Structure 1
Amino acid sequence: MAGKQGKDLALSMLRVLPRLSLGNIRDNPGSRKSPKRGRGQHGGNKHGAGNKGSGQRQNYMRLGYETGNTPFYLRFSKEPYYKGHHLRREYPPLSLKTLQLYIDTNRLDISKPIDLISLINTGLYNINVHWKHAGVHLTDEDAHCFEAKINIEVQWASEPVIAAIEKNGGVITTAYYDIKCLHAMCNTKQFFSRGEPIPRRLLPPTDCLEYYSSASMRGYLADPEKISQERLVLAQKYGYELPKIEEDSDYEMLCERKDPRQLFYGLEPGWVVNLKDKVILKPKAEYLKEFYAS
């Protein structure tokens, strides 16, 4: 067939190819379907309804029901420790080691006070209010390696953490935020875009009022004179010389505090931030000023 062309080539190919028959043609796509399984001898005749009892009726058993056995949650005695556990506030931990890493990598600006919003803006620390998160728990991991001089506000801290920060000339404050304020702080852009006035911070509940009023825990409701005394007591206890904040070049930054009703630095409760027009609207009515006043 090498020298043939056209009709001769086609005829020669037909002579070589096998004849067309039912044995060498393919079925059309979709013409053959797999047969369904019949009833059969062992196919069963219950139509997927199961055996006797609730299995053959479509009343699905409730969650935790163990078909007559004593349920798992009733086999053990009562533990009062877990009473109201779903209502307890949680504080996601943040170690001093991680905080030092944020500062060394320029995630945090130590020339300004650090609060919950500053930590969330790093993009590395998050809290979820729906999971009962109530703020930052600063832990003492690698406290001996912490070297930064900062003014930080957290929601929970222990005595070694306070000593590690004040040893370097820094200042720490423990402050409480209610749920409405936490929603506004977790996503400030979304909050300001809604055009709502900045809420005033509520006072802590009775179960943690003592903690945030304690000078030894550096509570934001404590007396400043008692805090100065406790700073000296803690320095003597841990054996370090307490730096004098009054002679520090960053004295104004270290002394900057939020008002007990204030939520954001530089913004007062009751103000409305308009992101579109880039203006701040302040209340003018006297009853509004009185309501948002500390």
Structure 2
Amino acid sequence: SSSSSSSSSASRSLSTWTLSTLRATQRRGGSSSPSLLPWGCVSSGYSRGYRGNGKRKDGGYGTLVPRESPIPPQGVISLSNLKDNPGSKTWRLRVGRGRGGGMGKTARRGYNGQKSRSGGAPRIGFEGGQTPLRLTLPKRGFVNPKRMVFTPLNLWKLQKWIDDGRLDVSKTLTMKDFVDARLIDPRVKNGLKLLAKEMDGHAFTAKINVEVSRVSAAAKEAIEKNGGSVVTVHYNRLGLRALFYPQKFKYGLPKPARAPPWLVGKVDRVGTLPAPAPREAASAEAS
């Protein structure tokens, strides 16, 4: 009993001495005499006498810190604190390893069949061999890649804005004037088209000069009947954005795009973009 008590006290004193020595060494930032450290003290640097299996050539375990090593010990290594770097190992679901994990034997896939095999899922749209729905229904129509969507604007609404004083008819009206007056939504895709629909109390009687993307024959006749004129102009998507929001182009406005060959006969000319405003005026207006 006396021998066991003496050995336990010696081990306690050794462990206490080891921890105190390690803490003092780490506080100093170095090791004054690393060779005096007990067996089992390790360093993050290369150490002599280590064979790779945890056992030294002299029969002991652990890593011996060499005398000339400038790296201080980092702690005592044991099987309880051995682990890889955080994030180097990813969790993987292991199936077929017993009932304890909930994924044993058949791993919730049942017995034989296509769904129990790896990679046994059929392709999307496969209906077991019968004619799929995409082949049962007939094809209708086609997708026109040159289709253009125009925002409609009726003459009665244009006349109402003129009667309320929201539009200045003394100058040529453009689509930007309509956007600024909140007559149309600025989210125009391909342009604006004037239509000749009228309502009671809002008969079109104004004399205007207007530039739009498209105009119906009846609307053009109604405008020219009052002594006005309509010019159809072409803007691409970038041109419309530059027309509505010229202040958003920091390095200058883009060049107006020419109409493609299939639109040459449908427009009178290419739309013009306003001159870029000075930076001082644009910044003052934005603020």
Q: TM-score normalized by structure 2? A: 0.50
The correspondence of residues 166-181 of structure 1 with structure 2, limited to 5 A, is 166-181=224-239
Residue identity opposite 2:207 in structure 1: K
Could you list the structure 1 runs, at least 4 aligned residues long, displaced by more than 6 angstroms after superposition. Answer: 46-52, 55-63
Q: Which runs of 5+ in 2 are unaligned?
A: 1-105
Q: What does residue 143 of structure 2 align with?
A: 83
Task: Return the letter of the residue paired with 2:197.
Answer: E
- After TM superposition, give the deviation of residue 127 of structure 1 in Å: 4.4
* Corresponding position of 2:29: none
Cα deviation code 1:222-280 (max 9, x no counterpart):
xxxxxxxxxxxxxxxxxxxxxxxxxxxxxxxxxxxxxx46212xx2xxxx43333569x
Alignment partner of 1:145: what SS? Answer: coil
Question: Is the Cα contact below 8 Å between 2:239 and 2:273 reproduced in 1?
Answer: yes
Q: Tell me the SS of whatever aligns to 2:194.
A: strand
Partner of 2:260: 205
Query: Shift in Å at residue 153 of structure 1?
Result: 0.6
The aligned residue for residue 280 of structure 2 is 276
When residues 72 and 89 of structure 1 are mapped into structure 2, their CA distance, relative to the original with a 3 A threshold, is farther
Instruction: Report how far residue 57 of structure 1 moved.
Output: 8.7
From 143, 159, 170, the counterpart of 1:100: 159
1:135 Cα deviation from its structure 2 partner: 0.6
Between the aligned partners of 2:160 and 2:142, the Cα distance in structure 1 is 36
Q: Deviations over 1:169-226 (max 9, x none)?
A: 11111111122211212333323xxx221222121111111112xxxxxx23xxxxxx
- Matched-pair identity in %: 28
* CA distance, structure 1, for counterparts of residue 116 and residue 159 of structure 2: 60
Is residue 196 of structure 2 the alignment partner of residue 137 of structure 1?
no
Give me the whole-angstrom Cα distance separating, in 2, the residues matched to 1:276 and 1:48: 70
* TM, length-normalised to structure 1: 0.49
Could you give the per-residue CA deviations for residues 124-178 of structure 1, whole angstroms, max 9, x where no partner exists? Answer: 412436xxx2110111111892111101011111211111001111111111112
Q: Partner amino acid for 2:263?
A: C
Q: How many Å apart are 1:96 and its aligned residue?
A: 0.8
Q: What's the counterpart of residue 94 of structure 2?
A: none
Give the superposed CA RMSD: 3.5
CA distance in 1 between partners of 2:230 and 2:180 (Å): 19
The aligned amino acid for 1:112 is K
Q: How does 1:43-58 map to 2 (within 5 A)?
A: none
Check the 8 A contact 1:178/1:202 in 2, yes or no. yes
For the 8 Å contact 2:233–2:271, the answer to whether it is kept is: no
| Higher relative contact order (CA closer than 8 Å, sequence separation 6+) | 1
Is 1:263 matched with 2:273? Answer: yes
- Answer whether contact 1:150 1:165 (CA < 8 A) is retained: yes
Unaligned runs of 5+ in 1: 1-45, 213-218, 221-259, 280-294
Q: Work out the CA distance in 2 between the residues paired with 1:47 and 1:151.
A: 76
How many pairs align?
174
Structure ID, larger Rg: 2
Q: Is the 8 A contact 1:50 1:56 kept in 2?
A: no
